[in-house]
Chains A and B, each alone.
Chain A
Amino acid sequence: MIFRLGVKEFIRNIGLNLLIILQLAATLALSIFLTSTIEYRLAHYLPFKEELSSKGLYVLYRGFDYDHKPIDDKNKIISELEKIKEITATYTAPIIDKHSNSDDDIIYDITAYDEKIFTSFKPRLKSGKWLDKREDGDYLPAVISHNWSGIKTGDILALTGYNDKSEEVDVKVKIIGTLRDGAKVFSRNSHDAYDNYLDLYMNYNYEQELRTTLFVAVDDMEKFDLSYIISGKGFITFDDDITDEQSRSNMNKVDEYCSAYPLDEVNARSISHITYQLYLLLPIIIGVLMLVIVSTLSISAINTSKQMRNYAIYYMCGSQWSSTSLISLVNYLIVAGFSFVLSWTVIVGLSLLGMLEKTSLRFSIFPILACLVIIIIGLVTSVLTPHLIIRKTTPREIISTND
Chain B
Amino acid sequence: MIKIKELVKIYNKGRANEFEALKGVSLEIADGEMVAIMGKSGAGKSTLLHVLACIDSYEGGEYYLNDVLIKDLSEKRLAQIRNENIGMVMQDFALVEDFTASENVIIPLSFAKNKVKDKKQKANAALSQVGIPDLINKDVNKLSGGQKQRVAIARAIVNEPSMILADEPTGALDSKTSDEIMDLFKSLNEDGRTVIIVTHDINIAQKCERIIEISDGLIV
Is the Cβ of A1 less than 8 Å from the Cβ of B110? yes
Distance in angstroms between the alpha carbons of A310 and B140 in the assembled complex: 14
- Tell me whether B107 is interfacial, beta carbon within 8 Å: yes
Is the Cβ of B96 less than 8 Å from the Cβ of A402? no
- Tell me whether B42 is interfacial, beta carbon within 8 Å: yes
- Tell me whether A163 is interfacial, beta carbon within 8 Å: no
Is the Cβ of A314 less than 8 Å from the Cβ of B82? no
Interface residues of B in 6-43 (CB under 8 A from A): 41-42
Distance in angstroms between the alpha carbons of A274 and B109 in the assembled complex: 60
Question: Which chain A residue lies CB-closest to B200?
Answer: A403
Distance in angstroms between the alpha carbons of A131 and B37 in the assembled complex: 90
Nearest Cβ in chain B — how far from A364, in angstroms?
43
Is the Cβ of A402 less than 8 Å from the Cβ of B94? no
Distance in angstroms between the alpha carbons of A394 and B55 in the assembled complex: 9
Is the Cβ of A317 less than 8 Å from the Cβ of B108? yes
Knowing that A310-B96, A318-B84, A400-B50 touch, tell me 15 more A-B residue pairs with CB under 8 angstroms. Answer: A12-B98, A313-B96, A316-B53, A316-B94, A317-B83, A317-B107, A317-B155, A318-B80, A318-B108, A401-B91, A401-B92, A402-B90, A402-B92, A402-B171, A403-B42
Interface residues of B in 121-176 (CB under 8 A from A): 155, 159, 167-168, 171
Nearest Cβ in chain B — how far from A321, in angstroms?
7
- Chain A positions within 8 Å of B76 at CB level: 320
Is the Cβ of B94 less than 8 Å from the Cβ of A320? no
- Tell me whether B95 is interfacial, beta carbon within 8 Å: yes
- Tell me whether B69 is interfacial, beta carbon within 8 Å: no
Is the Cβ of A321 less than 8 Å from the Cβ of B91? no
What would 30 A/B residue contacts be, using CB atoms closer than 8 Å?
A1-B110, A8-B99, A12-B98, A313-B95, A314-B111, A315-B55, A316-B55, A316-B94, A317-B82, A317-B83, A317-B107, A317-B111, A318-B79, A318-B82, A318-B84, A318-B108, A318-B111, A318-B112, A318-B159, A319-B111, A395-B55, A396-B50, A399-B55, A399-B90, A400-B50, A401-B90, A402-B46, A402-B92, A403-B41, A403-B46
- Chain A positions within 8 Å of B96 at CB level: 310, 313
Question: Which chain A residue lies CB-closest to B158?
Answer: A317
Distance in angstroms between the alpha carbons of A263 and B156 in the assembled complex: 81
B interface, size bucket: 20 to 34
Distance in angstroms between the alpha carbons of A4 and B82 in the assembled complex: 21
Interface string of A278-318 (1 = CB under 8 A from B): 00000000000000000000000000000000101111111
- Chain A positions within 8 Å of B83 at CB level: 317-318
Question: Which chain B residue lies CB-closest to A5?
Answer: B110
A interface, size bucket: 20 to 34
- Chain A positions within 8 Å of B92 at CB level: 401-402
Distance in angstroms between the alpha carbons of A249 and B57 in the assembled complex: 88
Distance in angstroms between the alpha carbons of A86 and B41 in the assembled complex: 95
Is the Cβ of B55 less than 8 Å from the Cβ of A396? yes
Is the Cβ of B55 less than 8 Å from the Cβ of A319? no
Question: Which chain A residue lies CB-closest to B42?
Answer: A403
- Chain A positions within 8 Å of B50 at CB level: 396, 399-400
Nearest Cβ in chain B — how far from A322, in angstroms?
7
- Chain A positions within 8 Å of B183 at CB level: none
Known: A316-B94, A317-B108, A396-B55. A402 touches B168 (CB 8 A): yes
Distance in angstroms between the alpha carbons of A319 and B80 in the assembled complex: 8
Is the Cβ of B55 less than 8 Å from the Cβ of A320? no
- Chain A positions within 8 Å of B108 at CB level: 317-318
- Chain A positions within 8 Å of B56 at CB level: 394, 396
Distance in angstroms between the alpha carbons of A396 and B92 in the assembled complex: 14
Is the Cβ of A320 less than 8 Å from the Cβ of B41? no
Distance in angstroms between the alpha carbons of A395 and B94 in the assembled complex: 12
- Chain B positions within 8 Å of A318 at CB level: 79-80, 82-84, 108, 111-112, 159
- Tell me whether B52 is interfacial, beta carbon within 8 Å: no
From A310, A399, A401, name the one whose CB has the most chain B CB atoms within 10 angstroms.
Answer: A399
